[in-house]
Amino acid sequence: MHIAFDADDTLWHNEPLFDLTQERVAELLADWVPAAELGEKLNSTERRNLRLFGYGAKGFTLALVETALEVTGAKVPGRVIQQILDAGKALIEHPVELLPGVRETIDRLAAEHPLLLITKGDLFHQESKIARSGLADRFAEIEIVSEKDEETYRRVLRRHEIDAERFVMVGNSVKSDILPVLAIGGNAVHVPYESTWELDKIDHRGAEEEGFFEAETMFEVPRVLDEIAALGWESA
Amino acid sequence: MHIAFDADDTLWHNEPLFDLTQERVAELLADWVPAAELGEKLNSTERRNLRLFGYGAKGFTLALVETALEVTGAKVPGRVIQQILDAGKALIEHPVELLPGVRETIDRLAAEHPLLLITKGDLFHQESKIARSGLADRFAEIEIVSEKDEETYRRVLRRHEIDAERFVMVGNSVKSDILPVLAIGGNAVHVPYESTWELDKIDHRGAEEEGFFEAETMFEVPRVLDEIAALGWESA
């Protein structure tokens, strides 16, 4: 039984920190652009830059600067750019706050199974958050990946010699943690988070298939894993 | 026999692209600061930010923007900030240019041994460069790490069940590719590159010990590896 967890918004709060950073920048630029319009422009900058920057707080900070230039016709004062950089740094060094039930559930499961952590984003920032979470030593293996698609999961499972049907991914993102895992024949437990990043939003339909399970919070995850085991995949 | 290669400035040109980007920004800021002073300020910004950003082109671009604000007393015009962002993007999407002898040597060695690639920096950018190098399929395993120190090499060797004395690291950086590998009992082949990044410069002394070898170019690497094998470590 191989259990893997997503990190951002599964083990600890993440998306609201990005949202707060964006709100801070919206205040700084309030004379030039309404917050909603800034949000739209920022999303398109991020989408446009994704192929160059990938995911993560540094690319987000660069996108904030670029969007600030765009919405002000490059008239944004230097001191505001500096405040945007500072907001990006504050985001990166923000304390890691575990979600309810995470410590108990991870402690309990780690005592019974070798756990994997599979997270996408900025390598350096993810490692820093894992270290600061205090959970690093509960995971037998940590994989920080640039994208969570079928090919990535196939590569990770191959590397650790894990059969997909004996693999369970636990995470909040239907797009990143659930659908690609189901697609390669694995099991997935969806633990919804309070908000979802615009670029990670996806139609839920298609997830109602074999291997798909839901838990309301991390407290429920051990019970759902027991259910999965009882369905007989342990002997598959 | 487990052979690992560094990537930046070992397999392909890297440092000069960062230098060119810096020169481009120095031209943009020539009215405010002499190029040499900009370089010094940029180095201190990078050193200061390292614990937040780690290595790589995105952190470098953020440091360029921050340094531009610093040296101009935040008076740098928005269109120059945009040009700095564009220079950072050009750096990230610059074509990957292999160093002399790389293709031949990697092809030859890959036919005989499972090769590892161990590179530090930005996950997304490194993956992109590896894909664009055309060499990805010559490497049995690729490890992109945030720091190349003794602990990192220990972790990588443990993960792949490799004994240090049967491990050879080939790279250009004495600090990142040679000293930590020697320290954990491995072998290292230094292939010097034409220039070294300021933050990677280190005193050479201490590298004159067991397990340390030199090759002038990648063409010589197979011969040096044969030498190492002849010294008997293959039967160790």
- Of 3.40.50.1700, 3.40.50.1000, 3.90.226.10, 3.60.20.10, the CATH number of A2-13+96-235 is 3.40.50.1000
At residue A234 the predicted structure's pLDDT band, cuts being 50, 70 and 90, is very low
B53: which chain A residues are within 8 Å (Cβ-Cβ)?
A: 58, 92, 124
Confidence of residue A123 (pLDDT cuts 50, 70, 90): very high
Cα(A184)–Cα(A168) distance, integer angstroms: 11
Task: Identify whether the C-beta of residue A204 lies closer than 8 Å to the C-beta of residue A179.
Answer: no
What φ, ψ does residue A208 adopt, rounded to 5°? -85, 65
Question: Which residues 174-233 on chain B approach chain A with CB closer than 8 angstroms?
Answer: none
Where, residue-wise, is CATH 1.10.150.240 in chain B? 15-92
Check residue A194 and give its pLDDT.
82
Q: What is the mean pLDDT of chain B?
A: 93
> For chain A, how far is it from start to end, CA to CA, in angstroms?
11
Residue B111 has pLDDT above 70, yes or no: yes
Q: What is the pLDDT of residue B194?
A: 82
Q: Is residue A110 within 8 Å of residue A138, measured between CB atoms?
A: yes
**B161 pLDDT more than 70:** yes
Q: Say what the pLDDT of residue B159 is.
A: 92
Q: State the pLDDT at residue B116.
A: 98
Q: Looking at the predicted structure, is the pLDDT value of residue A208 above 90?
A: no
User: Residue B145's closest CA among B109, B181, B112?
Assistant: B181
Three-state SS for A88? helix
Q: Which among B121, B154, B127 is positioned nearest to B139, based on CA atoms?
A: B127
Measured between CB atoms, does B52 come within 8 Å of chain A? yes
Asked if A59's CB is within 8 angstroms of B89's CB, the reply is no
CB of A10 closer than 8 Å to CB of A121: no
- pLDDT of B199 reads 66
The yes or no reply on domain A15-92 and CATH 3.90.1150.10 is: no
What's the pLDDT score for residue A231? 83
Could you tell me the fold of the domain covering B2-12+96-235? Answer: Rossmann fold (3.40.50)
Report pLDDT digits (tens) over A127-174: 999 999 999 999 999 999 999 999 999 999 999 999 999 999 999 999
Q: Which sign does the torsion angle of CA A216, A221, A223, A228 carry?
A: positive
CB proximity list for B64: less than 8 A, separation 6 or greater: B21, B22, B25, B42, B84, B87, B88
Token representation of residue A185: 């024949």
Give the model's confidence band at A196: pLDDT under 50 very low, under 70 low, under 90 confident, else very high: low
Q: Which of residues 145-174 of A touch B (CB under 8 A)?
A: 145-146, 159
Write out the residue limits of the CATH 3.40.50.1000 domain(s) in chain A.
2-13+96-235
Please answer yes or no on whether A58 and B58 come within 8 Å at the CB atom.
Answer: yes
Flag if B123 and A127 touch (Cβ within 8 Å).
no
Which residues of chain B does A52 touch, with a Cβ-Cβ cutoff of 8 Å? Answer: 89, 92-93
Using an 8 Å Cβ cutoff, are A190 and A207 in contact? yes
Q: Are strands B212-214 and A2-5 parallel, antiparallel or unpaired?
A: unpaired
Indicate whether A204 pLDDT > 60.
Answer: no
Task: Give residue A181's pLDDT band: very low, low, confident or very high (50, 70, 90).
Answer: very high
H or E segment and range at residue A2? strand A2-5
Q: How far apart are CA A171 and CA A9, in angstroms?
A: 8
Q: Strands of A212-214's sheet, edge to edge?
A: A139-145, A115-120, A2-5, A167-171, A187-190, A212-214
Q: Which residue has the higher pLDDT, B235 or A198?
A: A198
Q: Which residues of A touch B29 (CB under 8 A)?
A: none
Residue B126 distance to chain A (closest CA, Å): 10
Taking only the tens place, the pLDDT of each residue in B34-58 is: 999 999 999 999 999 999 999 999 9
- Asked if B62 and A85 come within 8 Å (Cβ–Cβ), the reply is yes
A176-183 contacts: CB < 8 A, separation 24 or more?
Answer: A176/A6, A176/A120, A176/A148, A176/A200, A177/A6, A177/A10, A177/A148, A178/A207, A178/A212, A179/A206, A179/A207, A180/A148, A180/A149, A180/A150, A180/A152, A180/A153, A181/A153, A181/A211, A182/A207, A182/A209, A182/A210, A182/A211, A182/A212, A183/A150
Specify whether the CB–CB gap between A86 and A1 falls below 8 A: no
Give the pLDDT of residue B157.
Answer: 97
Report the residue of chain B nearest A90, measured CA to CA: B52
| Residue-wise burial string across A186-206, b where 16 or more C-beta atoms lie within 10 A, e elsewhere | bbbbbbbbeebbeebeeeeee
Rounded CA gap, A35 and A28, in Å? 10
Say what the pLDDT of residue A236 is.
43
Is B2 buried (19+), middle (13-18) or exposed (0-12) by CB count in 10 A? buried
Which residue in B52, B78, B88 is closest to A76 by CB distance? B78
Q: What is the pLDDT of residues B167-180, one digit of tens each?
A: 999 999 999 999 99
Closest approach of chain A CAs to the CA of B208, in angstroms? 32
Does residue B11 contact residue B5 with C-beta atoms inside 8 Å? yes
Judged against a pLDDT cut of 60, whether residue B217 lies above it is answered with yes
pLDDT of residue A210: 85
Mean pLDDT computed over every residue of chain A: 93
Label residue B30 exposed, middle or buried (CB < 10 Å: 0-12, 13-18, 19+): exposed
Distance of CA B83 to the CA centre of its chain: 26
Residues of B in contact with A148 (CB under 8 A): none
| C-beta atoms surrounding B161 within 10 Å | 7
* pLDDT (0 to 100) of residue B4: 98
Task: Point out the least confidently predicted range of A72-86, A107-121, A186-200.
Answer: A186-200
A44 in contact with B, Cβ within 8 Å: no
Handedness of CA A21, A27, A33, A37 (dihedral sign): positive
Q: What is the mean pLDDT of residues B176-194?
A: 95
Q: In what order do the strands lie in the sheet with B115-120?
A: B139-145, B115-120, B2-5, B167-171, B187-190, B212-214
d(CA A55, CA A64): 14
C-alpha to C-alpha distance for B181 and B161, rounded to whole angstroms: 16
Q: What is the pLDDT of residues A90-108, one digit of tens each?
A: 999 999 999 999 999 999 9
Query: Would you call A131 an interface residue with chain B, using a CB distance cutoff of 8 Å?
Result: no
Residue A112's φ and ψ, nearest 5 degrees, are -105, -30
- Collapse the DSSP code of B172 into the 3-class scheme (helix H, G, I; strand E, B; otherwise coil) and give the result: coil
Cα A92 from Cα A112, distance rounded (Å): 33
Task: Report the pLDDT value the prediction gives residue B235, as an integer from 0 to 100.
Answer: 45
CA dihedral for A45, A49, A50, A51, sign (positive or negative): positive
CB A172 within 8 A of CB A10: yes
Average pLDDT of the segment spanning B65-69: 98
CA distance A208 to chain B (A): 32
Cβ–Cβ under 8 Å, residues A206 and A180: no
* Angstrom distance (rounded) from CA B105 to CA B110: 8
A33 in Cβ contact with A71 (< 8 Å): yes
User: pLDDT band for position A232 (50/70/90)?
Assistant: low
CB contact under 8 Å between B85 and A66, yes or no, is yes
Query: Sorting pLDDT into bands at 50, 70 and 90, what band is B144?
Result: very high
